[in-house]
Amino acid sequence: SQTRDFTYVEDTARGILLAGTHEAAIGKTLNLGSGYEIPIHELAETVKQVCGVPDAEIIHEIPRPGDVLRLYADSSRAGELVGFEPQVSLAEGLQRLKTWYEGQGTSPEDLLQSETVRNWEA
For 70-100, what is each residue's pLDDT tens digit? 999 999 999 999 999 999 999 999 999 999 9
Examine the pLDDT at 120 and tell me if it is beyond 60. Answer: no
Looking at every residue in the chain, the average pLDDT score rounds to: 91
Q: How many CB atoms lie within 10 A of CB 35?
A: 17
Q: pLDDT band for position 9 (50/70/90)?
A: very high
Position 35 scores a pLDDT of 92
What gap in Å lies between CA 67 and CA 54, rounded to an integer? 28
User: Domain map of the chain by residue range?
Assistant: 3-120
For domain 3-120, give the CATH number.
Answer: 3.40.50.720
Q: Is this prediction's pTM over 0.85?
A: no
Strand partners, 63: none
